[in-house]
Chains A and B, each alone.
With several copies, the nearest count.
Chain A
């Protein structure tokens, strides 16, 4: 990095924490065994895998066998939706997902719709929050699966997943929650009280890319979608990436350690950031401001400017942020999340996401706020609107 980088894009991915790095390095030296191998190198790998599994199980108060490691959040979401849909297809074909899910859920739901399932996309209110009543009203006797994320990646809005999960359980419907953006931000220690399937991703919690997990509550019907050897109890074939999994487990421990304290510290920086912007820049609007949100995320519409132009100016100053979610770089068009909240195309087009993290300082917050004020003024001065 040539200049001082300010990283306000922690919802896209995070830097590896030292504990995770430390946990991974042995596997890049001598300990390269395949956990399926009989010999001592294999057993060592197996022991590491088991230790990682127990680490996760401990955090989520579940059985080690309920932790199914995957290559990441997207795969876990696919496994949850495709796997439950396939396992339950004789019981029914109706699936409900919220309109603001991550593409790894939305596109998978669309793929299921194309292959004979019936999918309802549950709407959100103007704060980007799913209305449980609307979901309840949408359930049918043939509803087999409901999937609603715990926290939205673009706005940070927390969803009523406890309520939705309990509603699902009462009706014998499998409930999946994509907790990728919630893990390490809210307490998920009792997640199996309301959810059957829970998606996690390592690289969002200061762990390495290449690992994630689907927590599968015992007894939840689930077909394997990546078939092969008897890995992960037959639910996910493939030689396990024990280095990434060990890093993920180490990062998970850090993610839940002192959670409240971290949330309070980062949350107050986020609030300071928003207060500064509201003070210094006219015509802005904080999305999901009235919703309960995770502590690190600010999604802001700047009237009369186009978000890519802001992003590029920020980038030239070494400031990392994003427009909508990182995954939408390849996808033109305004955010489906903001559109679902009722924002116009033009409003959505001026939206930026700032996601703070462990390394964020008050100084950085002030620097970014000041930079934004200048950039928005400059762009507005040449705007044709």
Chain B
């Protein structure tokens, strides 16, 4: 059943965000987010600002949804401190919190390799339609590292 017509509403992705047939639906109604996500949402880690940071990034647009600011302090290539603030949905807050936790203490060469998947995995997964939120934490981290590198190269 293929078609070139533009007026065909063709719900080919009908089962996109649902498990395959045969998989059991959850017995008990679950929270939209899992417990780890809820924990990072209600008690986000590394919230705050860093005065005179070595790197800083502002990502997102509050008018479109979420916004995040991220500060890092780097010494000898290691992220010795990292802080964030976020205006956004629970997914954005939790992934930002988890991203800072993962990056804390890392060498920036390793931190650069952190991906959205790492954050999502560390959180034990987030709902499919919330995955775009996970982009923010890692995106801000990478941007802050780039900012740090620019500042460093300027200092040289």
Contacts and interface: CB of A to CB of B under 8 A. Distances in A.
B110 interface: no
Interface residues of A, number: 59
A160 interface: no
A58 B22 contact: yes
B20 A384 contact: no
B89 A382 contact: no
Interface stretch (A13-21, A60-68, A258-266, A273-281): A60-68
A90 interface: yes
Contacts of A9: none
Interface in B9-55: 9-16, 18-26, 28-33, 38, 41-42, 44, 47
B105 to A, nearest CB: 22
Q: Decide if the interface of chain B is mainly helix, strand, loop or mixed.
A: loop
A44 B29 contact: yes
A222 B90 contact: no
Contacts of A44: 29
Contacts of B87: 304-306, 383-385
Interface stretch (B59-67, B116-124, B144-152): B59-67
A365 B26 CA distance: 34
Contact of A383 (B18, B20, B26, B86): B86
Given A64-B15, A221-B8, A234-B11, A346 B24 contact: no
Contacts of A384: 58, 67-69, 84-87
Interface string A79-112: 0000000111111000000000000000000000
Interface string A214-241: 0011111111100000000111000000
Given A384-B67, A384-B69, 15 more contacts: A51-B25, A54-B25, A65-B14, A91-B5, A172-B2, A216-B14, A220-B10, A223-B9, A305-B87, A306-B66, A309-B90, A344-B63, A346-B63, A384-B84, A384-B86
Interface of B: 1-3, 5, 7-16, 18-26, 28-33, 38, 41-42, 44, 47, 58, 62-69, 84-90, 92-93, 129
Interface of A: 38, 40, 43-44, 46-48, 50-51, 53-54, 57-58, 61-66, 86-91, 114, 172, 174, 196, 216-224, 233-235, 304-306, 308-309, 312-313, 316, 332, 344-346, 349, 381-385
14 contacts: A43-B31, A54-B23, A88-B8, A90-B7, A91-B3, A174-B1, A196-B1, A219-B1, A221-B1, A221-B8, A222-B9, A312-B33, A313-B42, A381-B47
